A and B are shown apart, each in its own frame.
Chain A
Amino acid sequence: MAAPMRNVDEIRDRVILGEFGVRNVHSTDFPGNYPGYDDTWDLRKFKKNFRLNIAHMDENTLEFDMVGIDAAIANAFRRILLAEVPTMAIEKVFIYNNTSIIQDEILAHRLGLVPIKADPRLFEYRNAGDEEGTEIDTIQLQLKIKCTRNTRAAKDSSDPKELYLNHMVYSKDITWVPIGNQADVFGDSKIGPVHDDILLAQLRPGQELDIVMHCVKGIGEQVAKVVNSRLDTCSREVLRHDDLKNLVKIGRVRDHFIFSVESTGILPPEVLVSEAINVLIAKCQKFLTELESSEME
């Protein structure tokens, strides 16, 4: 392909994939490391070299390329996408009646994992120590279902679908109970689980569930269920063939990243990416203001 790269350029720009390990992983382009190269941070140079290209976008997945940015920052975006974009999830489960075979805590755990379709940007964080929750930080959901025998089933039928009514509890049975002025604010958007077909529990006649849930805004660090996305890798298959091994040198361009973002359905993936970048900006601003205020003293 291209003529062999000068050694220095190769160390600066490529991560080498050897047969047994990866070499040249860390960025070394800091000022003073290479004579003849000016590596000082320059926003104009960054803007000139930076490119973003959207490869594929649909309602649940987004694939895009970022070129010209360092691994440290790209990784920061990835970590934020996975764990620090705020989402609404069920946090407190008030079980008034549970006569099903599923234990209370197992059922509560399963409910906590159900993604709830509500835009987290329209809600505030709940204040620490606040048990009740107000209309700006809490969504109240209810699950009230009772299993009964189907009197019209055939005498010798053994199919549970025929014999019992409401014997499978799906996430579509979770209903929204608006509190305060939520009915006016969110009247037309359907707040509830993203997917209707998540099986939560199975019941038999006489068993019932009467549960109230509070759904609050949280980030993945505190609430391990609000994970939103996943990522991508590369293959070293060619190195397994002995005759090709010595002829091929595989390297990856150091500053080219492919992001593949898959959303749980609460927010579209492009909104997730924008929110993640905003989270990083907010972190920096937080420390900047902290520096300012501590210098005033």
Chain B
Amino acid sequence: MAAADTEKKRVLEMVQAAGADEGCVTFVLHEEDHTLGNSLRYMVMKNPDVEFCGYSITHPSESKINFRIQTRGGLPATETLRKGLNDLTDASKHVLHTFEELRNRDQVTGMWSTLQSETLTDKNHRLRAAAWILSIQN
């Protein structure tokens, strides 16, 4: 097990000061930047058990971030990280779901929003195309 691990490149490491409790941990996330760093930081800060959360990019040439979490009341920091990741996933899934629903609904009726900027002949073509699509969907 240990041999296989050293071959695989770690993407997540934990650095903890000796003697500190489980609530103060710095995670090193490899191959990441502000994209995940800032959004994850926001989600973890929304957790009332978190006393401090911040991230920094160690050097712009290296693609890794130091992500630090300090919790209240001795709660393990890995729990808050896991909750933050889950909350971010839930929020993204909801955005995706809303977007796809809207997109599918608009695929037919959305043609109407582009009608204002077109010439009369184009408008007629689109009206007929939309009517045809509506008719075959029913």
Contact = CB atoms under 8 A, between A and B. Distances in A.
B128 interface: no
A27 B42 contact: yes
Interface of A is mostly: helix
B91 A43 contact: yes
A178 to B, nearest CB: 32
A54 B82 contact: no
Interface in A1-53: 27, 30-32, 39-41, 43, 46-47, 50, 52-53
B119 to A, nearest CB: 15
Nearest to B105: A54
Interface in B88-114: 88-96, 98-100, 102-103, 106, 110, 113-114
B110 A54 contact: yes
Given A41-B43, A58-B114, A72 B78 contact: no
A288 B82 contact: yes
B38 interface: yes
B58 interface: no
B16 interface: no
Given A39-B46, A76-B35, A290 B12 contact: yes
Contacts, number: 123
A143 interface: no
B114 A56 contact: yes
B86 interface: yes
Contacts of B11: 286-287, 290
B95 A295 contact: no
Q: Report the contact-size class of chain A (Cβ under 8 Å from the partner).
A: 35 or more
Given A32-B48, A50-B98, A57-B106, A79 B86 contact: no
B113 A280 contact: no
B48 A57 contact: no
Interface of B: 1, 11-12, 14, 29, 32, 34-36, 38-43, 45-48, 78, 81-82, 85-96, 98-100, 102-103, 106, 110, 113-114
The 6 closest A-B pairs by CB, nearest first: A41-B46, A72-B42, A31-B48, A76-B39, A277-B96, A290-B12
11 contacts: A31-B48, A41-B47, A57-B114, A58-B114, A64-B99, A73-B39, A73-B92, A84-B35, A274-B99, A284-B40, A288-B89
